Structure 1
Amino acid sequence: MSDMTETGRKRGLGRLLPIAVILTVAGIGAVTLGDYLSFEALRDNREVLLAFRDANYVPAVLAFMGIYIVIVAFSLPGAAVASLTGGFMFGTVLGSTFNVVAATIGATLIFLAARHGFGERLSEKMDASEGRVKRMKDALDENQWSMLFLMRLVPVVPFFVANLLPAIVGVPIRRFVISTFIGIIPGGVVFTSVGAGLGEVFAQGEVPNLGVIFEPHILGPILGLCALAALPIVIKALRGGKDI
């Protein structure tokens, strides 16, 4: 009996290892990498980056996407700077494509690590529970697409949180990947377009305006998409209210 208990304990620790590694690296990165993944570092190394891109375009794309994936997967500081770099090096269209694909891959790695570690067990416990927890889980299950898109579209939801919650409530990986990819496109294009104009910003000795996403002409359409994503939830709520 003790051997079975010990084996189960080891398996439990093994399941938690991926998310534990991510959290450990994230903590170390938050302390040590701030100066290396910053706007100042991009400004000081811009000529080297452009020269490398011009001489080795495909390796530059692969290296950039690999670094972006690592930044997102381990929740390292510098995701915004990475998005700017994508626009600065590859332009708005290609840069947005590389940024969104890399961010989706990185987010999926966190999702898989969390689901493997504790997401499946928590989801099963929530399904087996009663009362408020069960009702919350059922509400999320009924409106998964809308909730997933809202978490990606609303700028105030931390990206790391939006990767963990779906794993906890048992969202299928296909649904997570699709909603992540589509949901981060609006914000991704905004930041990438800012990065595409960094040449002029550098020339003037200024810093990029990362608050541009909150300006009315940018935030308005994003909030419109949020309202569209929330529409199925509202309709279900209204129908439920009529049935009561």
Structure 2
Amino acid sequence: MTRQRLMMAALLITAIGVFFLSGAHQWFTLETLKTYQSDFQTAFNQYPWQVAGAFFAVYVVMTALSLPGATLLTLLGGALFGLGWGLLIISFASTLGATLAFLLSRFLFRNPIEKRFPRQFAAVNRGVERDGALYLFTLRLVPVFPFFMINLVMGLTRIKTVTFYWVSQVAMLPGTAIYVNAGGQLGDLESLGGILSPTLIASFLLLAIFPGSPGALCCWCSSARHIKVLPDPHTLTTTLW
């Protein structure tokens, strides 16, 4: 690993270490958000642009560093900004942060891993060149694949950065809309597992497998509408951060 990569890796490890050692991760719980929701709302009412800008910056940084808490930030954004502005702000913040994580993974790890496994990655990159956009689209839609892991793994491939960005922007919209909408009912949420129902997950699978099908189009439309949050904890728990 070159000196530049070592310095970058050291900075990332330091930033992540500070996040956990300072106890900042303890703020990213559903109970904490519900406790301080009124305080956040008061601050936003008084300083809307400053709060929105700070929220955007924090979301980008946390996503770029692959820190836990993106789902909770999305709920908070929905509670503060509403569905329209919340979806706009979070869609761009999440995609920008994901792209930065993608570029960090590419800069730090792609060359060393390609040299270590040349044959395997040659085959992977041939597939990415042929079906990379559709493959990424599918991964983004299926809510069982961790958000941060997709960013890091795709950075190891040779998919173009601009392709990674626009596919992520489009494919993450349905899931983002659901979580932003759920943020409007933040005070009633009992767990994150109550947000995604088995029916919604099946709809995402349909959209991923048949992106041009009528059922897929219906899923796109329904994801942006008001979706009732299911309070029952027996529903599937998302693995997305």
TM band (smaller chain): 0.7 to 0.9
Change (3 A) 1:30 1:156: farther
Find the counterpart in structure 2 of residue 5 from structure 1.
none
Contact 2:74 2:176 in 1 (8 A): yes
Contact 1:149 1:229 in 2 (8 A): no
Contact 1:114 1:168 in 2 (8 A): yes
- What are the Cα deviations for residues 12-50 of structure 1, in whole angstroms up to 9, with x where unaligned? 131243344334533553563332121122112111111
Alignment of 1:51-90 (within 5 A): 51-90=42-81
Find the counterpart in structure 1 of residue 206 from structure 2.
224
Separation in 2 of the partners of 1:228 and 1:84? 29
- Larger Rg: 1 or 2? 1
Find the counterpart in structure 2 of residue 118 from structure 1.
109
CA drift at 1:187: 0.9
Separation in 2 of the partners of 1:114 and 1:214? 32
Paired residue secondary structure (2:210): helix
Change (3 A) 1:30 1:213: farther
- What are the Cα deviations for residues 159-187 of structure 1, in whole angstroms up to 9, with x where unaligned? 12111122111111100111111111111
Q: Which runs of 4+ in 1 moved over 4 A?
A: 120-126
Separation in 2 of the partners of 1:95 and 1:145? 26
One-letter code aligned to 2:153: L
Contact 2:125 2:158 in 1 (8 A): no
Separation in 1 of the partners of 2:55 and 2:20? 20
Separation in 1 of the partners of 2:152 and 2:172? 16
2:92 is the alignment partner of 1:109: no
- Picking from 149, 155, 171, the partner of 1:183 is 171
Please list every run of 5 or more consecutive structure 2 residues that lacks an aligned counterpart in the other structure.
214-241
Find the counterpart in structure 2 of residue 47 from structure 1.
38
Paired residue secondary structure (2:143): coil
Paired residue secondary structure (2:28): coil
Change (3 A) 1:86 1:66: same
Find the counterpart in structure 2 of residue 154 from structure 1.
142
Contact 2:139 2:145 in 1 (8 A): yes
Find the counterpart in structure 1 of residue 4 from structure 2.
14
Separation in 1 of the partners of 2:165 and 2:41? 31
CA drift at 1:230: 10
Separation in 1 of the partners of 2:129 and 2:182? 36
Contact 1:120 1:167 in 2 (8 A): no
CA drift at 1:79: 1.2
Find the counterpart in structure 2 of residue 212 from structure 1.
195
Change (3 A) 1:140 1:124: farther
Query: What is the TM-score normalised by the length of structure 2?
Result: 0.78
Contact 1:52 1:60 in 2 (8 A): yes
Judging by fraction of residues, say which structure has more helix.
1
Contact 1:86 1:95 in 2 (8 A): yes
Paired residue secondary structure (2:195): helix
Find the counterpart in structure 2 of residue 4 from structure 1.
none
CA drift at 1:97: 1.4
- What are the Cα deviations for residues 75-100 of structure 1, in whole angstroms up to 9, with x where unaligned? 22211110100100011121111111
2:122 is the alignment partner of 1:139: no
Separation in 2 of the partners of 1:94 and 1:165? 30
Separation in 1 of the partners of 2:105 and 2:169? 19
Q: Considering only aligned residues, what root-mean-square deviation do their CA atoms show, in Å?
A: 2.5
**Aligned residues: percent identity?**
25
Query: What is the TM-score normalised by the length of structure 1?
Result: 0.77
Contact 1:119 1:167 in 2 (8 A): yes
